[in-house]
Amino acid sequence: MSHDPSDHDLRERFAALRREVEAHTPPLALPEAPLPRARPLPAWAAAAAVAALIVGALWLLRGTDGRGTPDLGQQLLASAQWIAPTDFLLETPGRELLRGVPGVGAGPDELIETNENRRRNES
Amino acid sequence: MIDLEAELERHHGAAFGWALSCCAWDRPSAEDALHAAYLKILDGSAVFARRSTFRTWLFGVIRRTAAELRRRRALARLLPLDRLAQRASTEPDPERAVIRSEASARLAAALAALAERQRALVHLVFYEDLSIAQAAAVLGVSVGTARTHYERAKRRLRDLLGEGDTR
C-alpha cells in the first residue's frame, strides 16, 4: 500500500506505540479445551428437512384432516350426494296423475302413466 | 482445514493491539474481549468462511465481541451492586500498563477521545498497516464511508495532539 507522505508524522507515532504495546502484549493463553458447539445446519440439510416437512404435511392432508375424519375429496363427494331432509315434502299425494296428459275417454287407470301404458300407446 | 490455534498464535500481537483500540485503550477490557473472541472461534460460534483473509475476519470477530462486552457492561452499570464491583476493578495497575512513555500515552489518550469508527479506522490504517479498503472490510462499511471517516479522524487526531495548526 502506498502511504501519503504527509502522514509520516502519524505513522512514526503509531510505530512507536506499536513497539510499546508489543513489548507488553500478554502471551497467548487460549481457552482450555472448549466444548465444540453444535455447528449450524448446512443449507442442503435444512432444505431436505423443509422438503420432508412439506411431504409429510401433504401426506397427512391426503389421508385425513388430522382428526381421523375422511379426507377432503371424500367429503366433497359426500356433499354432492347429499339429499335435503325436506325432500319428502315434494312427494305430494296423486303426483302420478299430474305427469300424464289425460286423453278423451280415458279411464282413471289410464291417467296414471305407467311403463306399461306408455309402451301400449307407443305401439 | 485451517489450524485455528496456529493462526491465532500468528496474529495474537496484532489482535491484542486491535482489541485495545476497540476498548478505548483499556487493557482489562481488551483482554476480556480478546479472550471472549478466541473462545468464540475455538468453540465454533464464529466460523471462518474464507470470504476474507483470516486477519480481516479475526479483527471483525474481536470488534463485535468488544462491542457486545461494552453493551453488557453499560447495562450492568445500571445495577448499584455492579457499580461497587466496577469501582474496585478499575483501580489503575502500573505493573499492567501497556503504555509507559509519555508520547505514546498522549497518542493513546487522543485516540480514546476519537469517535469509535474514526479510532478504528486510524488504528487499522496506521497501526495495523491495512489499506482503507481492508479497514472498511473489517468494519463492515463501504470504502467511501471509510475514507470519509479516515480523513476526519486524521484531522481530529492532529488537533488533539496539538499539531492541527502545523498542517
Residue B167 binned pLDDT confidence (cut-offs 50, 70, 90) = very low
B122–chain A nearest CA distance, Å: 9
A48–chain B nearest CA distance, Å: 22
Q: Tell me if chain B has a CB within 8 Å of the CB of A25.
A: yes
What grid cell was written down for A55? Answer: 411431504
**A:63-122 residues touching chain B, CB 8 A cutoff:** none
Q: From CA B75, how far away is CA B67, in angstroms rounded?
A: 12
What grid cell was written down for B116? Answer: 469509535
Task: DSSP for B58-118, please give it.
Answer: HHHHHHHHHHHHHHHHHHHTTSHHHHHHHHHHT---GGG-S--SHHHHHHHHHHHHS-HHH
Share of chain A above pLDDT 90, in %: 7
Task: DSSP for A68-107, please give it.
Answer: SS--HHHHHHHHHT---TTGGGG--TTHHHHHSPPPTT--
Tallying the residues shown for chain B, one arrives at: 167
A5–chain B nearest CA distance, Å: 12
Q: From CA B38, how far away is CA B58, in angstroms rounded?
A: 9
Q: From CA B129, how far away is CA B146, in angstroms rounded?
A: 15
Q: From CA B109, how far away is CA B128, in angstroms rounded?
A: 18
CB-CB contact of A87 with A76 (8 Å): no
Packed helices A8-23 and B4-22: angle between N→C axes, nearest 10 degrees? 120
CA dihedral B109, B114, B116, B118 (to 10 degrees): -120
B1: Cα separation from own chain's centroid: 28
Q: Which chain B residue lies closest to A21 (C-alpha atoms)? A: B98
Contacts of A16 in chain B (CB under 8 A): 101, 103-104, 107
CB-CB contact of A29 with B10 (8 Å): no
Q: Tell me if chain B has a CB within 8 Å of the CB of A16.
A: yes
User: A-B interface: how many C-beta pairs under 8 angstroms?
Assistant: 79
Q: Tell me if chain B has a CB within 8 Å of the CB of A7.
A: yes
Q: Tell me if chain B has a CB within 8 Å of the CB of A35.
A: yes
Contact B43 A20 (CB under 8 A): no
Packed helices B54-76 and B4-22: angle between N→C axes, nearest 10 degrees? 50
Q: Over the stretch B5-48, which tens digit does the pLDDT of each residue have?
A: 889 999 999 999 999 888 888 888 889 999 999 999 988 888 89
The H or E element containing residue B147 is: helix B143-160
Cα Rg, chain A, nearest whole Å: 46
Residue B113 has pLDDT above 50, yes or no: yes
Residue B150 has pLDDT above 90, yes or no: yes
Q: Over the stretch A15-58, which tens digit does the pLDDT of each residue have?
A: 998 888 888 888 887 776 555 556 667 788 888 999 999 998 88
Grid cell 303426483 in the structure block, residue: A95
Contact B20 A21 (CB under 8 A): yes
Contact A17 B42 (CB under 8 A): no
CB-CB contact of B8 with B15 (8 Å): yes
Q: From CA B65, how far away is CA B56, in angstroms rounded?
A: 14
**Backbone dihedral region for residue B53 (phi beyond 0: left; psi -120 to 50: alpha; all else: beta):** beta
A45–chain B nearest CA distance, Å: 18
According to the model, what pLDDT value does residue B156 have? 92
ipTM of this complex prediction, to 2 decimal places: 0.75
A25–chain B nearest CA distance, Å: 7
Which among B45, B58, B104 is the top mutation candidate for probing chain A, defined by the most A β-carbons within 10 Å of its own β-carbon?
Answer: B104
* pTM for the full predicted model: 0.58
Contacts of B28 (CB under 8 A, 6+ apart): B89, B90, B96
A52–chain B nearest CA distance, Å: 28
Contacts of B35 in chain A (CB under 8 A): 29, 31
Contact B131 A1 (CB under 8 A): yes
Of A83 and A32, which is predicted with more confidence? A83
